[in-house]
Amino acid sequence: MIFLTEILAKAWQNRDPFDVLFSLEGEEYRRVKSRRTFRFEIDGQGFFAKVHRGIGYREIFKNLFSLKLPVAGAENEYRALLRLKELGIPAMEVAGFGTRGRNIAHRESFLVTRELKNMQSLEEITLHWAETPPDSALRHTLIRRLAETSGAMHRAGINHRDCYLCHFLTAVDDPEKTLHIIDLHRAQCRKKVPYRYQVKDVAGLLFSSMDCAITRRDVLRFVRLYSRTPLREEFARNGKFYCDVARTAEKLYRKEFGKEPPRWF
């Protein structure tokens, strides 16, 4: 299967997109054994490409023995992006996708997305909040947008699996701070997000917010907007979920930084 938008189809006319992308040079952002992510341009338009080569049986069994689902190509991200677009949830725009090979261990695939210009991540925006607290209006807007966007994603049956502040972008000059979800390489689409994966996603957001001097009020505001339910009712019904989120986030912080997390609640 191969899908290309008009600009890519015209630029690569009579050429195999796999051959083009496997040999194309560009600004490289990530390279691992089976995957390469880089930026390139066509007629002044920026694109990002993720090119996947077969991960091999060893990597597949390694993931399975660790009780993890192996990511064998770009299909997960492609499906997640189409689903988000269908729901009107801002994310990367697909410009090209291709997959070939029946054997999952040796399957090759690619995903090309249009560049999101003049963007900054929530991680960048909140980097110095502990030392320089932001304007309350900005703080409330970002919490609202993050809660609404992540909540809509989960209600649609999509879990990110790398759900951190760095993977939510907003335009520098956007007063409403519309968030775009990126890096859905490990995302999964189902009718309903399993409990453990929903905990993992929300815990990832909490973990990556812990050094931003978040307050009890910030957390409660997020919960109310994320759940779209009054707080008393939400905690009565899903109290265990938020306890599990807190424990998971704190455990992740200790593992990542080798110290106790800051007091956040």
DSSP 60-110: HHHHHHTT-----SSHHHHHHHHHHHHHT--BPPEEEEEEE-S-TTT-EEE
Mean pLDDT of all residues belonging to the chain: 91
Q: Which of 47, 99, 102, 105 is nearest to 77 (CA)?
A: 99
Query: What pLDDT, on a 0 to 100 scale, did the predictor assign at position 175?
Result: 87
On the question of pLDDT at 180 being above 80, the answer is yes
Query: What pLDDT, on a 0 to 100 scale, did the predictor assign at position 64?
Result: 53
Report the distance separating Cα 181 and Cα 140, nearest Å. 19
**For 192-236, how does the pLDDT look when each residue is reduced to its tens digit (9 = 90+)?**
999 999 999 999 999 999 999 999 999 999 999 999 999 999 999
3-state secondary structure of 55: coil
**For 46-90, how does the pLDDT look when each residue is reduced to its tens digit (9 = 90+)?**
999 999 886 655 655 555 555 566 565 888 899 999 999 999 999
Catalytic residue among 162, 174, 201, 218: 162
| 162 a catalytic residue | yes
